[in-house]
Amino acid sequence: MTSQPAPSDQITNQVIAVGTLDRQWRNGRESTRIASRNALHGHEEQIVIQVPSPFGRVYALPLRLDGTSAGSALLEQAQIGTRLRVTGRLVWSQRSPARHAGTERTSQPTGELAFCVSAVGEPTPDDEPGCDVWLSGVVIGPARVVRHPQKRALLLAQTALRVSVERQRRGSRARLVETERVPVVVPLDHPDAPNLLRPGNEVRLEGMLERVLVTRRGPEVDQALAALDAEWHAQRAGLEGQAEALRAAERRYLGRRRSLTEVVHSRVVAGYVELISGAPATLREVQAMRQASLRSRSGHSEQPPADAAAADSE
């Protein structure tokens, strides 16, 4: 199995992924590393590795590196298919509002769970492929019961953890706390599931990271699709008689449409949940808490944002 980190009672946010380096495409060129500048003009890189999910399906896992990532020199000579062992932490990364195609209206800011790399190395023979997660945190909000999007018979309790990590610098008395939101699911029939069902519970969790494809819904998505479809109809009319250009334009249109209606989310599938403080909850209690939460919010928002609707479809 994957090498264990420090004792679990000392871990707040740690991830270890073992997988094979994958290709990426940028401007029509194949590469294993893509460099970019973030909003603050800091230098970052992205690599992608192929790892198995907790339920057997292989997925592409994007990894974010910066100048502090140890062992990144190993990637300079690494080829596609090279096995890697990557350690890091999970970060809730806010996306900037994106302008819809063909309209001036912008969507609400949304977030995504990102894997920030602290070190890259070579795996040992004992390292098992996959992405293992160790977290300590507080349950946020009442859980929801959902079906797994690929395994429809599997019922999950879906919630999130507030994970806070205190950081100190040598020679300084400053105590800085970094807080992340980590989406979490646990199978309803898991014996530890009740520990994750009550908001405010403090838990220690071990599990695996998975990525799932979900459908985005909502009025903003509908408006964006209508604008994109109108743009495509006008473009198609102007390309009559140009078969090759029409096929290329149609591929771009379908890709843009798919990006509006589908989104890939990362989340942690819990396989062990230790209750540090709080109390387990039953499904009946969860339903009552969720109904109370929905009633309290009913006067504040007419429609959920697009990514909230996407989460509801999981």
Mean pLDDT of the chain: 85
Whole-angstrom distance, CA of residue 277 vs CA of residue 201: 6
Reported confidence tier of residue 107, pLDDT bands at 50, 70, 90: very low
Instruction: State whether residue 198 is helix, strand or coil.
Output: coil
Q: What confidence tens digit (pLDDT) does each residue in 25-55 have?
A: 887 788 888 888 888 888 889 999 999 999 8
Q: How far is CA 120 from CA 16, 76, 115, 232, in A?
A: 10, 12, 13, 44
Q: What confidence tens digit (pLDDT) does each residue in 123-173 have?
A: 999 999 999 999 999 999 889 999 998 888 999 999 999 999 888 888 999
**What is the predicted pLDDT for the residue at 81?**
94
Angle between the 243-261 and 219-238 helix axes, to the nearest 10 degrees? 180
DSSP letters for 258-294: HHHHEEEEEEEEEEEEEEEES----HHHHHHHHHHHH
CB 196 within 8 A of CB 273: yes
CB 147 within 8 A of CB 156: yes
Reported confidence tier of residue 95, pLDDT bands at 50, 70, 90: low
Structure tokens at 81: 């298919």
Cα end-to-end span (Å), the chain? 29
DSSP code, position 153? T
Q: What confidence tens digit (pLDDT) does each residue in 278-299 have?
A: 999 998 888 888 888 778 777 6
Average pLDDT estimate for 91-120: 65
**What is the predicted pLDDT for the residue at 203?**
97
Each residue of 72-90: b (16+ CB within 10 Å) or e? Answer: beebeebeeebebbbbbbb
> pLDDT at residue 80 above 60?
yes
Q: What confidence tens digit (pLDDT) does each residue in 231-255 have?
A: 999 998 888 888 898 898 899 999 8
Q: How far is CA 6 from CA 27, 134, 144, 301, in A?
A: 42, 10, 32, 44
CA 200 to chain centre: 22
Q: What domains are defined for the chain?
A: 10-96+109-312 (2.40.50.140)
**What is the predicted pLDDT for the residue at 2?**
54
**What is the predicted pLDDT for the residue at 208?**
97
Average pLDDT estimate for 259-273: 92
Q: What confidence tens digit (pLDDT) does each residue in 174-207 have?
A: 988 999 999 999 999 999 999 999 999 999 999 9
Q: What confidence tens digit (pLDDT) does each residue in 55-75 have?
A: 878 999 999 998 888 998 899
155-168 and 175-187 strand pairing: antiparallel
